[in-house]
A and B are shown apart, each in its own frame.
Chain A
Amino acid sequence: MCKFRNLVKNEYIKSIHRASTVVMLILVILAAIALPSLVKIVDYVDGGYSGDMDWLIDDEITYHEGGDYPYDKAYTDTLELAKSAGAESMYDWRTVALTDALGESWSYFESLVSQSEEYMKYSEAMSEYGECEESDKCLAAVNKLYDDYYSEYKASEEFKKLEAAVMSNDMKAFYDLKLEECKANMPSDASAPDYEYRFAQYELDCWFYGYLRDNNVYYSKSVDPWTSENLREYFSSEFTDLLEIYDIKSTMIDYEKKPGSLISKKEYDSAVNRLAYFNYTVEHGVEYNVADGISMENGLDFWSAFNFSTYGITFIGLLAIVVASLSVSSEFSNGTIKFLLINPVKRWKILVSKYFTVISTGYIMLAVMFVIAFLTSLIFFGGSLIGADYIKAEGGEIFVTNGLVYMIKSYLLSSVEIVVMSTLAFAVSTLMKSSAFAIGISMFCMLAGKSIVSMLAMVNQDWARYLIFANLDLRSIANGGGMFLYQTVTAAIGVIAVHMVIFWLIAWDGFTRREI
């Protein structure tokens, strides 16, 4: 054992004194610093951009004024109305309520007139971009139709009530209106085939508006993640949450009850998971999920930066290939192998000590990258989120992992690729006399292997799924993002294991039986 430690020590000394190792090491450290810094730069640039982006009604009116299309006039008209009610922003609930109502009425109008001759000609003209000589005439006709409809709509009882609620800035009255509208839509024909679905949907709608009214939630669109602080008054996370619940439940009802539903099993499962996740966050008062930071969809933070560093693991892969190739082939190309092997150590022991050195170098590099990326992210984004959990819903169940533990797992999953590539490089280098050739072949495999396999996947060469390069990205495969259909982690590990055994046998045979 003591002897083995000495052998490994020798290998480390030789490795660290090679210029190539030092250069690659510096590259790894630079990558570990640069990647989180890049996230910080993006955060800085984008953060400055979305600083005070309010969406003003005036801008919107200027943009749509004098438009040719039927909707334009009604739209600016509605915006003027919102303005006269005192709203300035497109995000104001009054603007949203009025434009929503207009949108609904437009859809209704479209369904009403869609069978009319003028409208059909119009849409034909629109779709063929003015090839119809009469397009102006058609447009005028539709405009006329819509003008009539719009005056009718504005004169309607419902609109009057909506207008009154908006003008008096009475959100509760607005919710009452919505609720009333819902209740009026209660399905009555219990014998209809989709009765169950419609009834469930009706219940959901009523619950939604009832909840909004009872809790006086600010009515808005869903929150844009990049929204800056000074727009927050227009958005409430409560509304966003409710909208999320509404969306989830609506999807589930559709899948469960609607005859001939278009919702797929995958979408349904995702809805189930979203619901489980939502319930969990409410129940445990979760304010932040590491997964959000990693996805970078809700802004950039410590975890976005930290997780971004995993892209640098490729550098470690390159380093490992260089270390692995040189470990064996440089002994041959420099002639030192003769001095190494006339010592009272069996060849396989030397091989194992070299392999151990190569693999452990890879893991030391991973640890170095982990620590440096952690510190860099910490410096740029502060440590307020460090204790956060990674929460994930799968199969309707919630899995909670500490954020740091999750990152360690991520790094370890990525390390599989490093181990496989260095083993390949190791096997190749036992067969080659030239270091350059050994490095070249292994690098080529690492860089070209994946593209070749994804090309094979594109042309439906299904056998390529058994190639090692289709199975290395365990993180993607675990998340269902493999190159081939129905790839599983178990199968991938199987393919990797078979290849590893082959590489080991080649290295073993090549090294222990080689004539020197």
Chain B
Amino acid sequence: MSETMISTAPEKRAAVSIKDLNKTIGKRHILHDITFDAYEGEVFGFLGPNGAGKTTTIKMIVGLLSIDSGEVSICGNNVVKNFEKAMNNVGGIVENPEMYKNLTGYQNLWHYGRMRSGITKERIDEVAELVGLTNRINEKISKYSLGMRQRLGVAQSILHHPKVLILDEPTNGLDPAGIKDLRDILKNLAHKEGVCVIVSSHLMSEMELMCDRVGVISKGVMLGVYSIADLLAASEGETEDYVIRTNDSVKTLSLLSGYNASCNENGDVELILPKESDNAGIADVNKMLIENGVLLYTVSLKPKKKLEDVFIEMTSNEQEGGQIV
């Protein structure tokens, strides 16, 4: 994957801009020169395996961790120098949605509402409705499930119409319907209201459905930022792989000596052909095999690589033996 795949739409304005971010905790250098921009009106996925540095980066964006070197600005405001202005535009959930257990959902929302300006009762009812908690909003958080707390966390984060919404693994604990609801809410916020939504996850499948672009991080290094469309194209490739099952693999292989063919572990022949629109190549092979007296049982397309595999491939190069660094 090369530079050419980094999709940048020139008309979009960067809502979050991160430059050469470094962090060392104790003796461990956790982040190495993290650099990326997230734009208004997009859902930006922040993707990486466990321990890659996603949460650390997010904490640095919202000022929970100090910045060793580098710069974070939100809507043009430096997070360190202009904390309050920067944070005025941010809503978010960092790690788990921890709320005040002795307070009700409603009291919790008010708690955060009081720290912002211009939050009305109507707005609080509105966000409660949006995340589907209207019926349970007056219950204490200690009675909430993880999914309900996650929903309340989202409600809290969008309370003040932030321009940047940062959600750290927001689908944790949500049921499939909840995940779909959340996806719709986030897409709606980004595409209709022009919010910059940053979502972190370690699941490519989730990102695929939710995000416009993903930034992939592994071992504290930013591997690149890709649009989902480009990633999908990349996983498609420029060839088609066929699996051919016959009564005589050896004969088949010799017949296909002019092609890129090999024998796989099942004793079947694998044939790689350039991609073509009319399938003429495979028809020719078919015909040639039958004419030469080979009994052809099946010819099938080998399943494509998934985005998940692309992601694992990308990050496993960096992580030796799957050990968390």
A binding-site residues for B, Cβ under 8 Å: 3, 6-7, 9-10, 13-14, 17-19, 334-336, 338-339, 341-346, 513, 515-516
Contacts and interface: CB of A to CB of B under 8 A. Distances in A.
A516 B115 contact: no
A344 B95 contact: no
A344 B164 CA distance: 13
B22 interface: no
Given A334-B101, A515-B65, A516-B59, A343 B83 contact: no
Q: Interface centre among A9, A17, A339, by most B CB within 10 Å?
A: A339
A13 B103 contact: yes
Contacts of A10: 111, 114-115
Interface stretch (B39-47, B85-93, B171-179): B85-93
Interface string B102-137: 110001000110111100000000000000000000
A346 B84 contact: yes
A62 B177 CA distance: 100
Given A342-B64, A342-B87, A7 B115 contact: yes
Interface string B65-78: 11000000000000
Given A335-B96, A336-B98, A342-B90, A13 B63 contact: no
A338 B102 contact: no
A335 B114 CA distance: 19
B83 A344 contact: yes
20 contacts: A3-B117, A7-B114, A9-B114, A10-B111, A14-B111, A17-B103, A17-B107, A335-B98, A336-B100, A338-B64, A339-B94, A339-B153, A339-B156, A341-B63, A342-B64, A344-B90, A345-B84, A346-B84, A513-B66, A515-B65
Nearest to B61: A342
Contact of B115 (A17, A19, A345): A345
B99 interface: yes
A61 B117 CA distance: 89
A357 to B, nearest CB: 14
A82 to B, nearest CB: 76
Nearest to A513: B66
A175 B95 CA distance: 95
Contact of B92 (A335, A342, A345): A342
Contacts of B86: 344
Sorted nearest first, the 8 A-B pairs with minimum C-beta distance are A335-B98, A344-B87, A6-B114, A17-B102, A343-B115, A516-B64, A344-B88, A342-B62
A462 to B, nearest CB: 43
A3 B83 CA distance: 16
A3 B87 CA distance: 15
B25 interface: yes
Nearest to B166: A342
A285 B63 CA distance: 70
A9 B107 CA distance: 12
Interface residues of B, number: 35
A17 to B, nearest CB: 4
Contact of B65 (A6, A7, A343, A516): A516
A515 B103 contact: no
A171 B150 CA distance: 95
Contacts of B156: 339
A14 B66 contact: no
Contacts of B94: 338-339, 342
A351 B112 CA distance: 16
B162 to A, nearest CB: 10
B224 to A, nearest CB: 27
Contacts of B116: 343-344
B165 to A, nearest CB: 11
B98 A334 contact: yes
B114 A344 contact: no
Contacts of A343: 87, 112, 115-116
Contact of A344 (B84, B92, B102, B107): B84
Q: Interface centre among A334, A336, A342, by most B CB within 10 Å?
A: A342
A334 B97 CA distance: 10
B65 A344 contact: no
Given A6-B114, A10-B115, A14-B111, A339 B99 contact: yes
Contacts of B114: 6-7, 9-10
A335 B95 CA distance: 9
A174 B7 CA distance: 121
Contacts of B102: 14, 17-19
Interface string B219-252: 0000000000000000000000000000000000
A504 to B, nearest CB: 21
A341 B98 CA distance: 13
A64 B303 CA distance: 121
Interface in B133-172: 153, 156
Given A336-B100, A341-B64, A515 B25 contact: yes
Contacts of A336: 98-100
Contacts of B117: 3
A236 B96 CA distance: 80
A251 to B, nearest CB: 64
Contacts of B153: 339
A93 to B, nearest CB: 72
Q: Interface centre among B63, B94, B111, by most A CB within 10 Å?
A: B111
